Amino acid sequence: MIGDGREGVFVISSLVFGFLLLLGLLVFLTTALYEREELRLQNEAERAFNSVFLALQDSNSKALRTMAEENVGGVGIYSSMGRKVMSLGKVPTTIPVELFTTRDGFVRTGRATYNKETQMVEYIRFSRLTILLDTGQLTLTERGLLPAPIDFPDLLYLSLDGSAYHHRLMVIVALGFFSGIVIIGLFVAVLTIYLKNRSYRQTLAKQESLVNLGQAARTLAHEIKNPLSAVTIQVALLKKTLSEEHKEDLQVIEGEVNRLTQLTNKISDFLRNPLGQPEVIDLDEFFEMLIKAFDVPIAYTSERPLSILIDPDRMRSIFENILKNAVESNEGEDARVEVAVSTGKKHVIHITVKDRGVGIRKSEMKKIFDPFYTTKIQGSGIGLSISQQFVRARGGSISLRGREGGGTIVEVILPEAIRPLRKQ
Residue 92 lies in a domain: yes
d(CA 259, CA 251): 12
Query: Which whole number is the average pLDDT over 79-100?
Result: 80
d(CA 189, CA 28): 24
Residue 138 lies in a domain: no
Do 126 and 222 fall into the same domain? no
- DSSP for residue 408: E
Cross-strand bridge partners of residue 161: 120
Query: What pLDDT, on the 0 to 100 scale, is given for residue 181?
Result: 92
- Find the CATH number of the domain harbouring 375: 3.30.565.10
Q: Kindly report the backbone phi and psi dihedral angles of residue 371, in degrees, each rounded to the nearest multiple of 5, phi listed first.
A: -60, 135
Which of 82, 147, 424 has its CA nearest to residue 275?
A: 424
The residue type found at 64 is L
Query: What pLDDT, on the 0 to 100 scale, is given for residue 352?
Result: 92
Strand ranges (E), 80-170:
84-89, 111-115, 120-131, 150-161
Residue 379 lies in a domain: yes
Do 222 and 282 fall into the same domain? no
Do 364 and 381 fall into the same domain? yes
Contact predicate 358/390, CB 8 Å: no
pLDDT tens-digit readout, 134-162: 334 444 445 544 444 444 457 788 888 88
Query: What pLDDT, on the 0 to 100 scale, is given for residue 373?
Result: 55
Query: Which whole number is the average pLDDT over 62-85?
Result: 86
Query: What pLDDT, on the 0 to 100 scale, is given for residue 333?
Result: 60
Quote the number of domains for the chain: 3
Query: What pLDDT, on the 0 to 100 scale, is given for residue 131?
Result: 38
CB neighbours of residue 399 within 10 Å: 15
d(CA 255, CA 261): 10
Residue 422 lies in a domain: no
d(CA 75, CA 159): 7
Query: What pLDDT, on the 0 to 100 scale, is given for residue 50?
Result: 85
pLDDT tens-digit readout, 221-272: 667 777 877 788 887 777 777 777 777 777 778 778 777 777 677 666 656 6
Query: In the chain, count of helices (H) and strands (E)?
Result: 8, 12
Residue 46 reports pLDDT greater than 70: yes
Do 257 and 310 fall into the same domain? no
Q: Which residues contact 258 (CB under 8 A, 6 or more apart)?
A: none
Comparing 59-73, 285-299, 365-379, the range with the smallest average pLDDT is 365-379
| Containing structural domain, residue 336 | 275-415
d(CA 291, CA 229): 32
- How does DSSP assign 120-143, residue by residue? EEEEEEEEEEEEPPPGGGS---TT
- How does DSSP assign 343-374, residue by residue? E-TTSEEEEEEE--SS---HHHHTTTTSTT--
Query: Which residue has better confidence, 392 or 243?
Result: 392
Mean pLDDT estimate for the chain: 77
